[in-house]
Amino acid sequence: MEVSNRTIVNGIKKRLGNAKGNWAEEVLIVLWSYITTPRTSTKETPFSLTYGTEAMFPIEVAVNTLRVANKDEESNAQDLRINQDILEEKRERSGMHQAAYKHATERYYNQRVKEKEFRVGEYVLRKNKASQALPQGKLGPTWEGPYKVTEANKNGAYVLETMEGR
C-alpha cells in the first residue's frame, strides 16, 4: 500500500510542477494511469485483475475511434461474459507471475549477501531495532553496545554479554 501511495503522490508531483494548488484536478488522471499500467510483477493491470477486461480510455469514446465505431453490442456483451468466466484463471496466472517475480528478486538480492561469522570473545554492535533498548525515532541511535560474544550456536545464533559495566 505504501508503494502504491508513493507512486500516486510522485505522479501528482510530476503532473503539477510548480502549481501545487491544482492537485485535485490531477488526481483522477494519475489514478487512471496507475490502474491501467501493467505491473512488472503480475504482467497485468490492476483494472483487468479487478474487472476481467482492459479499460477503455475516455478519449476513445469522445473522439469515436475505430474501436468504438466497429463495436457490436451483442458480441461485446458475449466477450464481457467470457472475460468474467476466465477472470479467476487470469488472477491465478497473475499470482504465479508474482511468485516467480518475488523468487527472482529474492535470488538477486541474496547473491549479494556477505555472511559474517563472529567468534567467541569478539566485540560487536547490535542494531537498536532488534531489541529497542534505546529510544526509537529519527534521532535515536542506530546501534547499541558494545557486546562481547560469549557463545556461538551451530544454527548461527549468538549469546551476547553487555560491556556497559566494564
- Please answer whether residues 96 and 40 qualify as being in contact, where contact means their C-beta atoms are separated by less than 8 angstroms: no
Would the pLDDT of 146 be above 60? yes
Asked whether residue 63 is domain-assigned, the answer is yes
Asked whether residue 85 is domain-assigned, the answer is yes
Q: Which residues contact 127 (CB under 8 A, 6 or more apart)?
A: 142, 143, 144
Would the pLDDT of 143 be above 70? yes
Of 68, 83, 110, which residue sits at a domain end? 110
Q: Which residues contact 149 (CB under 8 A, 6 or more apart)?
A: 118, 119, 120, 121, 122, 123, 124, 158, 159, 160, 161
Q: What is the pLDDT of residue 102?
A: 96
- 14 or 40: which leads in pLDDT: 40
User: Which three cell numbers mark 45?
Assistant: 493491470
Asked whether residue 133 is domain-assigned, the answer is yes
d(CA 7, CA 17): 16
**Are residues 127 and 104 both part of a single domain?**
no
Asked whether residue 21 is domain-assigned, the answer is yes
Looking at this protein, which amino acid is placed at residue 92? Answer: E
**Are residues 22 and 98 both part of a single domain?**
yes
From residue 147, give the alpha-carbon distance in Å to each of 90, 116, 143, 164. Answer: 53, 16, 11, 8
Write out pLDDT tens, residues 48-106: 999 888 888 777 777 877 777 777 888 888 888 898 889 999 999 999 999 999 999 99
Q: 26 lies in which domain range? A: 2-110
Q: What is the pLDDT of residue 133?
A: 66
**Are residues 59 and 129 both part of a single domain?**
no
Asked whether residue 116 is domain-assigned, the answer is no
**Are residues 31 and 73 both part of a single domain?**
yes
pTM over 0.75: no
Would the pLDDT of 132 be above 80? no
Of 70, 88, 110, which residue sits at a domain end? 110
